Structure 1
Amino acid sequence: MLDTVLDVLGRTFQDVAHSLAANWPFLLISVIVASAIPVYIGAERLSSWLRRKTLYAVLGAILLATLTPFCSCGTTAVVLGALASQVPWAPVVTFMVASPLTSPEELVLSMGLFGADFALTFFVAAIVIGLFAGLVTWLIEKTGWLDGQARLTSTEAEKKAEESCCSSDETEGDEAGGGVSAAGGGGGLARTALLNRPIAPAPAPVEVSLVKRWKLDEFGNELMITSKRLALYFLGFATLGFLLINSIPTSVLTDFLGEGSIFAVPVAALIGIPVYLNSDGSLPLVATLMQGGMSPGAALAFLMTGAGTSVGAISGMLLIARWRVVALVVGILFTGAVVLGYSAPIWL
């Protein structure tokens, strides 16, 4: 028994080391991309992209969703900013559907873990289902079914967006030395003193260092946080995945999630809803499960429903919208996951 446990642990360690050696360049690029975009773009500027006509707002939401590696909290801040400007539901739902699915960080990491064909399939599918979500929401919104589904008024949404845990906006301090007003009427001495008060010299111009100008300190801090998070999730979930592969008989995976099972795709889509945590951890986990017999279609279905309906994503949706919008998002994601899972193996 002890020999079996040691053998499983030894093979797991070797598999994790091999995976890390093969994917460290992709991890490095992912860390840099994930750290640079929030620092040099920011949620407030990106949220303004949604303040357009519906068609342009949907296209802007797709671009915004696929180019930003924001966490669920950052995604919530962007959508709250959109609601504060009274954006229609179509671009908001588009962003809520597509944003958790993919990002530059995830695309690069997926290419290292699954190969270019799988990664590009999921990336393109995220864009297509986002556009589909925008179209469906636009048609439903015209019927009035989504009226009153925003949980926050525009003022409350704007306040929440400013208080978001991923927001890094700096508040400007009040100007020092507020004016002193003399009482109306008399007071010659007071008026003379006021007119003859000494004028403070203008402050000398402050030279902005290169570090501050290019936000290198913020980028360095974000780089450290992101690298620790990504390394922790990658190593942790890769170890878990290889441990499961080395412990569970391959027949279990092939029977339920393999290419031979007709129910593999919907089962994987259902499992993805409660099991998925985040892309940094779930991508290595799914990669190791595929090595153990999980079909590509089931893997795509798991990733799509899991990413869009994770704990963070659902929490953000419930903060923003009521049950009709949440049900619409979940229904679109599940339908898209099943369609993608059954159709993608044709060309993969």
Structure 2
Amino acid sequence: MTDVSLPRAGFRAALGQIWRGQRVWLASCLILLALAVFDPGQAWESAGFAGDALMRTAPYLVLSIAIAAWAGATGADNLIARAFTGAPILMIGLAALAGGISPFCSCGVIPLIAALLAMGVPLSAVMAFWLASPIMDPSMFVLTAGVLDLEFAVAKTVTAIGLGVFGGAVVHVLARGGALSDPLREGVGNGGCGGARVRAPKPVVWRFWTEAERRTKFGKTAASTTVFLAKWLTLAFLLESLMLAWVPAETVTALLGGTGVMPILTATLVGVPAYLNGYAALPLVGGLIDQGMAPGAGMAFLVAGGVTSIPAAMAVWALARPQVFAIYILLSLSGAFAAGLLFQIWVSI
């Protein structure tokens, strides 16, 4: 009798891999399919809205993709490793700056953090990098300037660095008192591609096009970044079209409008469960601001959601002990609230 369990298991594994790789595209297709069945007019409106929005942001997408591919091909991300040497206070500042401008991909940040902690780099500097990194990077800056505006992009960058410095300073004070001496969970090592950059940073090759391997890496990074941004922004623009069509502007204004503290506090708390993705959140926040959301609330939503998003929070939980995770979340929420409040004061002046 033939054993068909192995082929079936392989088929299920293949289907699972396809679903994991294409679920964002599938979600967009399912939204349009559901609209076509129940509200055909809105289906055409949403598809047209998403297409127009992608065309408007295309120049910023191209620049964003080029920056990401250039950073990977030249090895510019190796420069980040140099931020973790020196006196503790200097390390905190440099680590926050590195986090705010780092082009690390999500697969590189997690092993990098593990390597830094396992090699004895102070948690204060690591926390500064950890808090700043999810908020901003060069590609995010370009897209934020294009989707929202340059003032918002600059303020978000300053917020990333400021939150990193604030979090690093708090952890430094706690560590001096004897707390947080062993931040890593049991069994977490110092391996990974990100860790190798710290242990043995490689020189940056600015003229990357002279080497076939680096040209290939540029192409692969550009292709993967294009697919990543296209699928998330398509979904985001579809959701934005539905939000504009179905969510009354007065509701948004009542919850998140105005210049008081409550809209910013609400946006900070809502940002934790409602955040989709750093790139996908930008057009959603832009739509909300157009409907009356306070700019400070938009900043709080982006910062809180970025740092406490499921991938970022899961990475912290997987690597660090519960008390470090709790400090990370508290610093994230308090920093996001403060950033929203300060930005609202700034735009009101």
- RMSD, matched Cα: 2.9
Aligned length: 305
Q: CA deviation at 1:307?
A: 0.4
Q: CA deviation at 1:3?
A: 12
Residues 274-331 of structure 1: per-residue CA shift (max 9 Å, x gap):
2213212111222222222222111111101100011111111112211221111211
- Are positions 1:319 and 2:315 aligned together? no
Q: CA deviation at 1:157?
A: 2.3
- Corresponding position of 1:271: 270
Alignment of 1:172-191 (within 5 A): none
Q: CA deviation at 1:50?
A: 1.4
* Contact 1:30 1:104 (C-alpha < 8 Å) held by counterparts: yes
Structure 1 residues 81 and 47, CA, compared in 2 at 3 Å: closer, same or farther?
farther
**Distance in 1 separating the partners of 2:183 and 2:38:** 55
- Corresponding position of 1:114: 148
TM-score by length of 1: 0.79
- Are positions 1:5 and 2:39 aligned together? yes
- Corresponding position of 1:174: none
- Corresponding position of 2:9: none
- One-letter identity of the residue aligned with 2:212: K
**Distance in 2 separating the partners of 1:252 and 1:313:** 30
- Corresponding position of 1:141: 175
Structure 1 residues 148 and 250, CA, compared in 2 at 3 Å: closer, same or farther?
same
TM-score by length of 2: 0.79
**Distance in 1 separating the partners of 2:313 and 2:40:** 39
- One-letter identity of the residue aligned with 1:113: V
Q: 2:55 aligns with which of 14, 17, 21?
A: 21
Structure 1 residues 329 and 163, CA, compared in 2 at 3 Å: closer, same or farther?
closer
Q: CA deviation at 1:7?
A: 4.1
Residues 22-63 of structure 1: per-residue CA shift (max 9 Å, x gap):
221111111111222233227666335314331232222123
- Corresponding position of 2:297: 298
Secondary structure in 1 aligned to 2:267? helix
> Is the radius of gyration larger for structure 1 or structure 2?
1
Q: CA deviation at 1:261?
A: 6.5
Q: CA deviation at 1:81?
A: 2.1
* Contact 2:112 2:193 (C-alpha < 8 Å) held by counterparts: no
What is the percent sequence identity of the aligned residues? 27
Q: CA deviation at 1:335?
A: 1.0
- Corresponding position of 1:132: 166
**Distance in 2 separating the partners of 1:128 and 1:85:** 25
- Corresponding position of 1:177: none
* Contact 2:118 2:184 (C-alpha < 8 Å) held by counterparts: no
- Corresponding position of 2:189: 157
Alignment of 1:216-231 (within 5 A): 216-231=215-230
Alignment gaps of 5+ in structure 1: 170-208
Q: CA deviation at 1:336?
A: 1.5
Structure 1 residues 281 and 328, CA, compared in 2 at 3 Å: closer, same or farther?
same
Q: CA deviation at 1:101?
A: 0.7
- Corresponding position of 2:19: none
- Are positions 1:307 and 2:290 aligned together? no
Structure 1 residues 302 and 255, CA, compared in 2 at 3 Å: closer, same or farther?
same
Structure 1 residues 148 and 130, CA, compared in 2 at 3 Å: closer, same or farther?
same
- Are positions 1:101 and 2:100 aligned together? no
Structure 1 residues 74 and 162, CA, compared in 2 at 3 Å: closer, same or farther?
closer
**Distance in 1 separating the partners of 2:166 and 2:175:** 14
Mean alpha-carbon deviation: is it higher for 255-264 or for 233-242?
255-264
* Contact 2:304 2:333 (C-alpha < 8 Å) held by counterparts: yes
* Contact 2:123 2:183 (C-alpha < 8 Å) held by counterparts: no
- Corresponding position of 1:212: 212
Q: CA deviation at 1:8?
A: 3.2
**Distance in 1 separating the partners of 2:85 and 2:114:** 12
* Contact 2:261 2:341 (C-alpha < 8 Å) held by counterparts: no
Mean alpha-carbon deviation: is it higher for 13-22 or for 229-238?
13-22
Structure 1 residues 262 and 132, CA, compared in 2 at 3 Å: closer, same or farther?
closer
- Corresponding position of 1:259: 258
Q: CA deviation at 1:211?
A: 4.1
**Distance in 2 separating the partners of 1:72 and 1:310:** 12
**Distance in 2 separating the partners of 1:261 and 1:244:** 24
- Corresponding position of 2:337: 338
Q: CA deviation at 1:217?
A: 0.5
- Corresponding position of 1:39: 73
* Contact 2:108 2:193 (C-alpha < 8 Å) held by counterparts: no
- One-letter identity of the residue aligned with 1:75: V
Residues 132-157 of structure 1: per-residue CA shift (max 9 Å, x gap):
1111111111011212222257xx52
**Distance in 2 separating the partners of 1:16 and 1:162:** 36
- Corresponding position of 2:286: 287
Q: CA deviation at 1:79?
A: 1.1
* Structure with the bigger percentage of helix: 2
Secondary structure in 2 aligned to 1:263? helix
- Corresponding position of 1:61: 95
- Corresponding position of 1:179: none
**Distance in 2 separating the partners of 1:48 and 1:129:** 20
Secondary structure in 2 aligned to 1:110? helix
